[in-house]
Each structure stands twice: as C-alpha cells, then as structure tokens.
A and B are shown apart, each in its own frame.
Chain A
Amino acid sequence: MNSLILRTTTQLMITILLLFSVFLLLRGHDLPGGGFIGGLVAAAAVALYLIAFGADAATLLLRVRPRALLGAGLLAGVLAGLMGMVTAEPFLTGQWLIFDLPGNAEVKLSSVLLFDVGVYLVVVGAVLTMLFALEQG
C-alpha cells in the first residue's frame, strides 16, 4: 500500500506500540496484561509496518525469522517450566529470586516472568509466521 499518511503514522506508531507491548508484558503479573496480549500488540506493530512498507521491509525490520522467535519463545517457556523441577517441585511451579535494592525497592525475578517472555515471543513468532505466509501467497 502506498499511502504517505499511513507510512508517516506507522513510523510514529511502531515505537509506541512496541513500547506498549513491553509495558503490557511486564504489567501482566498482577494486573490485566501479560505475555500473550503484549505479543499480540507487538505482532500488530510489525503487521502495520508490513502493510505500510511491504513484506521485504518488514523482514528487514525484524532481522530474525519469525520461526526463530517461535523457537526462542518455546525454549524460554520450557526452561521456565523446568526451573520448578530444580527444587523437586512439579513442572511449571513458579520460582522466585528477590533482590533488595537500597531505597526500599525490590526487584523480583521469576520463572513466571521468563515464561511470560516465552509466551510473548511465541505469539509474535506465530502471528508473524502466518502473516508472512499469507503475504507471500
């Protein structure tokens, strides 16, 4: 599609959409959001770019093949699940690492977050695989 308005807005929107998708991903543990919906927003951003600039440009923007994203996401998800087994708990049991930072702040790293990142990547990878398949007809 060759539309100046679409191209210009896309360039503005894609940054906002990708940032928003990360925001949704991180927000997801306690509030509505999460890897799935974040991944969909990110995929929508790339889809928008694909519509505005074409499949080749979108491939360049992505740098990696969508299927590799799919693989990386699956790997992250399974590894997050396996972490539960390290402590002899069932598969997929959440594991937590909590760091106390000065100023009464704390950083929580968890296998749940890793799982969500995996979901995010799988969703982006899967949606884009399908989109590219349709685009290349």
Chain B
Amino acid sequence: MSALVVLPVVVPLLAAAVLLLFRGQREFQRVLATGATALLLVVSAVLLAQVSAQGILAVQLGGWQAPFGITFVADHLSAIMVLITAVMALASAVYALVDIDPEREASGFHPLFQVLLVGINGAFLTGDLFNLFVWFEVMLIASFVLLTLGSSRAQLEGGIKYVSVNLVASMLFLTAIGLLYGFTGTLNMADLAVVLPEHDAGLVTTIAMLFMVAFGIKAAVFPLFFWLPASYHTPPIAISAFFAGMLTKVGVYALIRTFTLLFVADVGYTHTILLWIGGLTMVTGVLTAAAQNDIRKILSFHIVSQIGYLIVALALYTPLALAGAVFYLVHVIIAKANLFLIAGITRRLSGSFDLRHIGGLFQHAPFLSVLFLISALGLAGIPPLSGFWAKLLVIAAALEAAQWWVTGVALAVGLLTLFSMTKIWQYAFWSPLTNGVVLAQRPSRLLYAPTIALALLILLLGLWSEPLIALSDAAAAELLDPSRYVQAVLGPATSDVGLGAGHAPVAGGRP
C-alpha cells in the first residue's frame, strides 16, 4: 500500500515529464493532460478510501527510516485535500481545453499545470517541514509561470505583486525552518511533535509566530492578503479558478497542520492571535468586496473573507471546530472555483467582467443563472447547500467555545456575502441590459460540463452531508490527537528515537 501514498505526486510528475518531451503535439498534450488528471482523481479516491479503512498511512521514501529520511504521510486531512485537489484539477483541466488559447498551450500550460499539482499534492502529503518548503516552492514557481503566462500587461503588473510577496513569505518560512532546526535538530514533523514539548515554550512560540506569518501570507489572511486581489483576476479563468480554489488553501492546510501537530505548547496565546486574524480577515475581505465592480475582484476578496472562517475554525481548536474547518475547506474550494468558472462563461456571453457593462443574463442564459445561483447561495451558506453545513459547524463550534464576538462576526459576514452575491445576481443576471451587449455565440458545452459537475457537488454535499461530516470528524480526531500521527510515522516505540543514534538505512544503500 506504500505506493499509494506517493502516487498523487508521481502521476502528475510523470505526466509533466512526458508533456515536456512532447511539447509540439497539441492534441496529444491535451489528451494526456486530461487523462493524467482523471487518473489522479482515481488514485486520490482510492487513497482516501484506504486511509478511511486503515488509518494513517506513512511511507519512508527510499527506505530511509524516519526521522532521518523523508516521510510521506496520508491522514484523513491530507487524503481529503488530495482528493479535492484532484476534483478541482479535473474541472479546471476540462475547462482549460476551451479556455486556454493555443499560444499559452504552446508555451507550456499543460506541463506547468501538472507541476503545480505535483507541488500541491506534495505539500499535502509530506511529513517533513523542509520537504514542505520544497513542495511549496515547486507549487509557487509553477503558479508564478502560470500566472504570468502570456505576459499581458495586467498579468505582469499583478504578477510582480504576487511573486514579490510570496517570495518574502518563502524566505520567512525558510528562516523559521532554520531556527527550528538549530533549536531541535530535527525537521520531521512527527519527531518534532515528540521533541518540541521538551523545549522552552517561549522560544517555540516565537518560532511558531514566524511560521504563522509565512503561512499567513500564503493563505492570504489579514493583514497580509493584498497580493491576492491584485493578481488573481489577471490570468485566464481556468487558471484563476484553480488558484482561487486551491492555492491559498495549501497555506491554510500548512497552518492547520503546524498549529495542531507542532505548535500547541501555548494554545491560549497562539490560537487567540489566530482567532483575531480570522475575524479580521472575514470582515476586511467581505467589506472590500462590497466596493468592487469586477466580478473576478469581488470573488477574489471573498476568497480572503472565506479564509477567515477557516482560520477561526482552526483557532477555536475543538473537535467540532476542526471538523468544521475540514468541511469548510472542501465546500469553499468547490464553491469558489465554480463561481470563477461561471464568471468565465458570463464573460464569454457578455464580453465583460464588469458588472456595470453586463446584464440580462437570466433572460439569455437561464441555465447558467441557475448554476450561478447554486454556487453563490452555497457560498453564502443558504440551506440546503454545502455552505450551510460548513458555516453551521463553524458557528456552532464558536458558540460552544463561548466566543460570542466571533459568532456575531461570522453571522454578519455570512449576511454580507449574501449581499455581494445578490449584487452580482442583480446586476449581471436579473436586471435588464442597459449598457453593453449580449453576444450571440453560445459558449462551448465543454465549458459547462465542469460547472454543472461542481454545482451538483455543492447540492450533493448539502443534501447528503453525512459522509463528508463523518470524514471531517475523523480528520479532526486525528488532528487533536497527534500521537496517532507520530505513531504512524515513527512506529510504536517513539521514546528511543532521537537524533545522534548511529543510524543505518533500513534498505537501499549498497549491497
């Protein structure tokens, strides 16, 4: 079964290699890229099934035993994230077949997209902090190139902001890793979880804050989010949508992982800061969104505000809250990306992303309007859609923890989200067209396929939420009990594992 844990990284990596070799053949590239992404979906689904059946899976790469080698670990959280990545990747890949122009395909869109998947899945599955950094950078460099692919002026201008802020975050991340290593002598996360409680809590918390800032920038939390709305609307929609769904969530994942497994020495301090950050992120995101007129910008600011809910759920640090965080992650990734994809079709129908120039879409494209309504109301948290359960779990957790102000903020932000979605609905779909044109051409059916599938998922997760809630509960239980993670990685006898022991590789090496 060990093979399964690395396959979500190996499949896109192989695909990227072959795609790079056959750069000229456009048709071949399109078929292979879509096929590989579909295969990734299958692999990820099997992985999640295996994790549910057998508990946390761990592989020591190259047979070098933890904590010395690099470990890949799949627990419920990782497996769920890998699966949702594959779902979104397939949706974006199919949408991209129409949306990405031949020029961008020729300059390497398909291999880059696969490399992006390699980085994301690697980040979700690795059990080593430095390795996490490496996967983050793989993801970043691919996202840099995807974001600026085509080099339009707007893309370059947004790209500079995205690149510079994220590079600073990477440097902070690496600094934090260096300090942690100097402090503890290990970078294996399970080993760190064992070793860290023996160290001075004050210093650990100091390093934790560095990690919080680094991951916070990548997750786009208040006050470090400004790079996101400055850049996410510039690339083609297929890329925007995938970025909107996934990239910040990798930062959120890293926050969840480190602040449940490693930095739990002083929860009263670190998680209170997280709670404030989360609350402020929700509010600033949603308020700034209200002032925008470009659909993509409205949606970009809503990404920020939704991240706030996730951070609040992490900060509450109870079983219910963490289960809510996992459910919310899945929900928001689907809903947000789908809204971007629908905005892309809207633009094809009306010629603009600007709310002031479009209108009357309900009359011309009623089906699209329904898709939009499902995703938008889902995002706002209207029953019976997925967002309702996501918000319910987080708000119930906040009530349970007696965090009244956060509860109030979360409810108010939900209302304001509804306001923003209503605004798009009102201008783009409901009101008669006053200032602009409705283009006659019908967008390709291929564009609709992923949006329909995702809208159905939103409905399904709303109407039949028990399986995902059960999975989220399992994930939360694992997150709150790090010893299970540690055991899976280091084996049952954790006490005698430490650095300095004369170690030999279990396998590999020279015969």
Contacts and interface: CB of A to CB of B under 8 A. Distances in A.
Touch between A and B in complex, CB under 8 Å? yes
Nearest to A85: B3
B16 interface: yes
A91 B62 contact: yes
Contacts of A88: 2
Interface stretch (A10-18, A37-45, A62-70): A62-70
B508 A82 contact: no
A81 interface: yes
B467 interface: no
Contacts of A90: 2, 6, 59-63, 507
A70 B20 contact: yes
Contacts of A93: 62-63, 507-508
Interface residues of B, number: 26
Contacts of A81: 10
A94 interface: yes
Contacts of B507: 89-90, 93
Interface residues of A, number: 23
Nearest to A111: B508
B268 interface: no
Contacts of A78: 10, 13-14, 17
Contacts of B72: 91
Contacts of B492: none
Interface in B13-38: 13-14, 16-21, 23
Given A78-B13, A90-B63, A91-B2, A68 B23 contact: yes
Given A75-B14, A85-B3, A94 B20 contact: no
Nearest to B3: A85
B3 A67 contact: no
B159 interface: no
A67 B10 contact: no
Nearest to A67: B20
Contact of A92 (B23, B61, B111): B61
Nearest to B508: A94
A7 B189 CA distance: 52
A88 B10 CA distance: 16
Contact of B6 (A65, A70, A91, A94): A91
B503 interface: no
A71 B510 contact: no
Contacts of B14: 75, 78
B90 to A, nearest CB: 21
A92 to B, nearest CB: 4
A84 B60 CA distance: 12
Given A91-B6, A93-B508, A74 B62 contact: no
